[in-house]
Amino acid sequence: MKHTDYFKNFLENTVNLPQPKVDLLSARVESIYNCLKANPEAKALIKKKIPQGSWPQRTIIKPVNGNAFDGDFMIQMVEEPDWADNLKKYGDTIYNVLHNTSPYKDMPHGRKCRCVYVNYAENAMHVDIVPFVLHADGTQWIINRDDNTWERTDTDGFTSWMKKQDGIANKRLREVIRIMKFLRDHKNSWTGTRSILLTTLLGERVEEWHKIVDSGYYSDLPTALLHIVSDLDAYLQQYPLKPIITDPSGSGTSFDHRWTQETYSHFRNRINVHAAEIKNAYEETDFDESVKKWQALFGDGFKAPAGSQSSAAGKFSTVASTATASSLSTVKHSGRAG
């Protein structure tokens, strides 16, 4: 059964990051940016900031088990030809300002391969600041500190791609991504696979032709979840060896460095298990048994909205249609959907 009212309540009250937290992230990013701009040396090199990752893509979720949530933003910097042999200086410029300025110098902070980070322990928040430059041809490049090399990226392009794919999926793709990220964290499943890979792989499974075969393919959240995850499972089962996943924005960047064959194999196996569990819960015709099966996946947060009652009419309204459920075994997959 679908239990669309349960899914709506689950998404709003268990999965989604509350708006006050999003507002707090925005305010803190602004404070960091203002701190950098107030420094005379950094100000001359900084041009603007751009939100990055799950924040602008609207796939950020409430952390589980007391973990911190991440917020990323990019800092466009003036390209310095004299730094060509030591690209670390871009990140070092940002780090040095924060390292010597209150309150950041007294907070956990540091440098990673592609960013400078600040941890806000009291609010379970982690902010990454990613420096980048625009080359003369207009392409966007971040710095790999460990290798002292440029890496091509296209943040706006990826976000635009996400918006397009979400539109094809009747605005359900972002919801599916958030739910799958919650499932990963709640079950401690497929550890080692970064969110960018999960987001890309789920997004690439969304294709217009599915709606030609079945107009209700992405009609509601549980149906979209069933189909997108099942299509991802079908795709992964074609590749025992780790496939090359490229940036769908068209930047030409590969995400291959973000996982290993071992972490890929684990991810592939876990998605196979979860796809079967989702299908089993969706197709269960007994109301209470279906709820139990969904709760086995998502926990006690998967429940009816406060004040609602399970009526006979409500139960019948949540039953998966035979046509939709059976489409999984009758529709042939092609192309990147597997």
For the chain, the domains span: 4-14+158-337, 17-154
Beta bridge partners of 140: 134, 153
Contact 131, 94 (CB under 8 A): yes
- Tokens representing 97 are 């300002």
Contact 248, 200 (CB under 8 A): yes
Contact 200, 182 (CB under 8 A): no
pLDDT at 123: 60
- The CATH label, of 3.30.460.90, 3.90.226.10, 3.20.20.140, 3.40.1440.60, for the domain at 17-154 is 3.30.460.90
Three-state SS for the chain is CCCHHHHHHHHHHHHECCHHHHHHHHHHHHHHHHHHHHCHHHHCCEEEEEEECHHHHCCCECCCCCCCEEEEEEEEECCCHHHCCCCHHHHHHHHHHHHCCCCHHHCCEEECCCCEEEEEHHHCEEEEEEEEEECCCCCEEEEECCCCEEEEECHHHHHHHHHHHHHHCCCCHHHHHHHHHHHHHHHCCCCCCCHHHHHHHHHHCCCCHHHHHCCCCCCCHHHHHHHHHHHHHHHHHCCCCCCCCECCCCCCCECHHHCCHHHHHHHHHHHHHHHHHHHHHHHCCCHHHHHHHHHHHHCCCCCCCCCCCCCHHHHHHCCCCHHHHHHHHHCCCCHHHC
Tens of pLDDT along the chain (338 residues)? 999 999 999 999 999 999 999 999 999 999 999 999 999 999 999 999 999 889 888 999 998 877 788 899 999 999 999 999 999 999 999 999 999 999 999 999 999 999 999 999 766 789 999 999 999 999 999 999 999 999 999 988 999 999 999 999 999 999 999 999 999 999 999 988 999 999 999 999 999 999 999 999 999 999 999 999 999 999 999 999 999 999 999 888 888 888 999 999 999 999 999 999 999 999 999 999 999 999 999 999 999 998 775 433 344 444 444 344 444 443 333 333 32
pLDDT at 53: 86
pLDDT at 267: 97
